[in-house]
Structure 1
Amino acid sequence: MKLVVLGLSLSSSWGNGHATTFRALLRAFAERGHDILFLERDVPWYRNQRDLPDPDFCTLRFYSDLEELKRWTAEIRDADAVMVGSYVPDGVAVGRFVQETAEGVRCFYDIDTPVTLAKLARGDFEYLAPELIPNYDVYFSFTGGPTLRFLEEQYRSPAARALYCSVDEQVYRPLPAEPRWDLSYLGTYSDDRQPTLDALLVEAARLAPERRFCVAGPQYPATIDWPANVERIEHVPPAEHPAFYAASRLTLNVTRADMIAAGWSPSVRLFEAAACATPVISDIWPGLDQLFRPGEQIILARRTNDVLAALALDDAARRNMGVAARHVILESHTAGHRAAELERDLLVSSEQVRSTRPALALS
């Protein structure tokens, strides 16, 4: 099938988790024989930080504004499916254009579902407005669980379907490396994540000065008082993520408040670390224990002492947990799994909209 995607970014992983999510999903989707056009808004903060300017699995094109987006009217009209992503600049206007133009399946991929719903509840329609949701044939959601029913009942989505993030298991895999840090964290700064990061990593570093820690990611304020045994790295490109995790005896997963409240919102970093067989310490949210078995495949932490106890695990226990977590990824959460789910749901949706848009002809 021909798929057009309008997403936040494919070309740059700087300061966002969308690029790696799209890269893994769309590469696997292309490997299933499909043709993909990715349209990305050309903005300076990504233009100057592009680490995948010319992907080999899809066509990537840039547009400067809504008027220039109309250059691809024919491609959007004739595509078997068109996907608009969350946080796309002028996303409401882009969504309206797609819904007025596309003759195939029109879908929304929300990589930030709990954040989106919180924004909608307070009248913040930055990239999605309530009136658009019923006109997207499928609402693909980063979040599963009860949120899917809420989207259908509260916002009249015709079909809300979970499409979790995923990993390319050939890229994210265990690597031989001498551990450099006892505990690492990879993630962009966020106000609502920082208190958890402070409790589970920064305070642990203060109480265990003999151990080594690392926080990697952009946008952390200069006012943060990092302990001397916490190394700061401004950015780790995706190509270096496996080496980063290989250098970590343990790594930390910290979840945004809206996603904790919604539950069933595994982050791409959680899956990437697990795919690399690096044991994960995570904060706690509904649905996590349905993805990984606590104590066997993941460590759950509520407070600093939980982290200090995990740091005392012997090497064999850590290795066994990492191997068990990677097995979960290989069984259920690779990019191949997600591409198959996307294909299935698009085909089902195409059957449902044929009668109203007979030009649709998915093969």
Structure 2
Amino acid sequence: MRIAFYGSSLVSAYWNGAATYYRGLLRALAARGYEITFYEPDVYDRQKHRDIDAPDWCRVVVYEGSIPALKAAAKQAAQADIVVKASGVGFEDDLLLHEVLSAARPTALKIFWDVDAPATLAMLRADPDHPLRLALSSIDLVLTYGGGDPVVEAYRAIGARECIPIYNAVDPRTHYPVPADPRFAADLAFLGNRLPDREARVEAFFLDPAARLMGRRFLLGGAGWQDKPMSENVAYIGHVPTGDHNAFNATPKAVLNISRTSMAENGFSPATRVFEAAGAGACLITDAWEGIELFLKPGEEVLVARDGRDVADLMAIPDERAKEIGKRALARVLTVHTYDHRAAEADRIFRARMRPREAAE
């Protein structure tokens, strides 16, 4: 089956947190026989910051950030059996949705794939006339990379025919244990771009504990933090290319996951970094959110902090216990949380909904 996938970027993770998710899931679907074309706009300097070449398992079409180029790319949806418009493409999203749905064949499976459901739902609730909300009745399926029952129920309440989460996972071919790298030596490391929906929680869960533990070394990676006040024991290293993520996760004593506020409040929304860290065998400390036990067992495969004081207390964990937690997390994600597992689920979903369409042709 042919998939036309319209997303933010497959070849650049620059200001693009969905890149890891797209790569892992689409590579695994390609291995199952899907012929995939990924359409992405040339915006936000992402093409200047490519971190992978176009892969051999997916055709990548980069189109100019202009209305004519968008419409030309959208017309290609007519060639696909499954048409996917993702959230947060970054250039004229509403127009792109309209053009893609208009171009899709009547028998094509039309999907809206939401990679930030809490933010999208807040936007749709605030505007009953939002183009996406009005289009839900003509979309066959909403898939999300997190959210659980709260997101499913919320989407159905505003008109979605069906909503199913396809969670983040780990791709063992790209995220795995590596030797320690002196560049990333630290007691606690956090990697995340500076966003309004996350900044206060980074202060509470990372910068405040660092200020209380001046004898320990903290490492901060991600874009946008250069003018943020922080204590002298915090080393800020800026954007970390995906090729360095394994070393970033495997080297420190522990790494920290801090959910954005909307994700934490919603729950059931493990970030890609949760699985990246576990895949590298890291001892992961995460902020508390509902549903964590569905993915990793608190106290054995992950450490959970309710606030910054908890984070500071957890830094007293012996090195050997930290290593054991990382080993258990790695074993868990390889057993049940790889993108091969997620692709098998997506494949079942696609085929179950395509069979009636194929029979009707």
TM-score (normalised: structure 1)? 0.92
Match of 1:269 among 263, 268, 273: 273
- Give the structure 2 partner of residue 68 of structure 1: 69
Alpha-carbon shift at residue 139 of structure 1 (Å): 0.4
Match of 1:146 among 146, 149, 152: 149
Q: d(CA) in 2 for partners of 1:193 and 1:144?
A: 17
Deviation per CA, 1:281-326: give whole Å up to 9, x if none: 1111111122221111111112233112211111221111111111
1:168 counterpart SS class: coil
Match of 2:109 among 105, 113, 125: 105
- Give the structure 1 partner of residue 88 of structure 2: 87
2:112 counterpart SS class: strand
Q: d(CA) in 2 for partners of 1:227 and 1:82?
A: 48
- Residue 308 in structure 1 maps to residue 312 in structure 2: yes
- Alignment length (residue pairs): 355
Alpha-carbon shift at residue 178 of structure 1 (Å): 5.7
- Give the structure 1 partner of residue 56 of structure 2: 56
- Give the structure 2 partner of residue 37 of structure 1: 37
Deviation per CA, 1:141-182: give whole Å up to 9, x if none: 122322343245312212211111222112211112167110
Alpha-carbon shift at residue 91 of structure 1 (Å): 1.6
Q: Which has the higher contact order (CA 8 A, sep 6+)?
A: 1
Match of 1:211 among 207, 216, 228: 216
Letter of the structure 2 residue corresponding to residue 163 of structure 1: I
- Residue 27 in structure 1 maps to residue 31 in structure 2: no
- Give the structure 2 partner of residue 137 of structure 1: 140
Alpha-carbon shift at residue 100 of structure 1 (Å): 1.6
Q: d(CA) in 2 for partners of 1:124 and 1:61?
A: 33
Alpha-carbon shift at residue 202 of structure 1 (Å): 1.1
2:49 counterpart SS class: coil
On the 8 A contact 1:140/1:161 being kept in 2, the answer is yes
On the 8 A contact 1:2/1:34 being kept in 2, the answer is yes
Per the alignment, do residues 71 and 149 of structure 1 end up closer, same or farther by CA in structure 2, a change over 3 Å counting? closer
Q: d(CA) in 1 for partners of 2:129 and 2:63?
A: 22
On the 8 A contact 2:74/2:96 being kept in 1, the answer is no
Alpha-carbon shift at residue 183 of structure 1 (Å): 0.3
Match of 2:238 among 218, 234, 257: 234
Letter of the structure 1 residue corresponding to residue 26 of structure 2: L
On the 8 A contact 1:98/1:106 being kept in 2, the answer is no
Alpha-carbon shift at residue 35 of structure 1 (Å): 1.0
On the 8 A contact 1:16/1:188 being kept in 2, the answer is no
Residue ranges of structure 2 left out of the alignment (5+ in a row)? none
On the 8 A contact 2:6/2:86 being kept in 1, the answer is yes
Letter of the structure 2 residue corresponding to residue 182 of structure 1: D
Q: d(CA) in 2 for partners of 1:122 and 1:287?
A: 26
Identical-pair percentage? 32
Deviation per CA, 1:39-83: give whole Å up to 9, x if none: 101114212212224222211111123422343466411211011
* Comparing 344-353 and 135-144, the one that deviates more: 344-353
Alpha-carbon shift at residue 353 of structure 1 (Å): 4.3
Match of 1:289 among 275, 293, 296: 293
1:181 counterpart SS class: coil
Alpha-carbon shift at residue 279 of structure 1 (Å): 1.0
On the 8 A contact 2:145/2:168 being kept in 1, the answer is yes
- Give the structure 2 partner of residue 188 of structure 1: 193
Per the alignment, do residues 282 and 40 of structure 1 end up closer, same or farther by CA in structure 2, a change over 3 Å counting? same
- Give the structure 2 partner of residue 220 of structure 1: 225
Q: d(CA) in 2 for partners of 1:90 and 1:143?
A: 24
- Residue 325 in structure 1 maps to residue 329 in structure 2: yes
* Comparing 230-239 and 67-76, the one that deviates more: 67-76
1:248 counterpart SS class: coil
2:62 counterpart SS class: strand
Per the alignment, do residues 91 and 178 of structure 1 end up closer, same or farther by CA in structure 2, a change over 3 Å counting? closer
Q: d(CA) in 2 for partners of 1:114 and 1:173?
A: 29
Q: d(CA) in 2 for partners of 1:74 and 1:114?
A: 30
Letter of the structure 2 residue corresponding to residue 98 of structure 1: V
1:272 counterpart SS class: helix
- Residue 114 in structure 1 maps to residue 118 in structure 2: yes
Q: d(CA) in 2 for partners of 1:205 and 1:317?
A: 21
2:219 counterpart SS class: strand
Letter of the structure 1 residue corresponding to residue 157 of structure 2: Q
Alpha-carbon shift at residue 352 of structure 1 (Å): 4.6
Q: d(CA) in 2 for partners of 1:335 and 1:325?
A: 16
Q: d(CA) in 2 for partners of 1:136 and 1:25?
A: 21
On the 8 A contact 1:214/1:232 being kept in 2, the answer is yes
Alpha-carbon shift at residue 105 of structure 1 (Å): 0.7
- Over the aligned positions, Cα root-mean-square deviation in angstroms equals 2.0
Match of 1:248 among 244, 248, 252: 252
- Residue 155 in structure 1 maps to residue 158 in structure 2: yes
Letter of the structure 1 residue corresponding to residue 14 of structure 2: W
On the 8 A contact 1:109/1:140 being kept in 2, the answer is yes
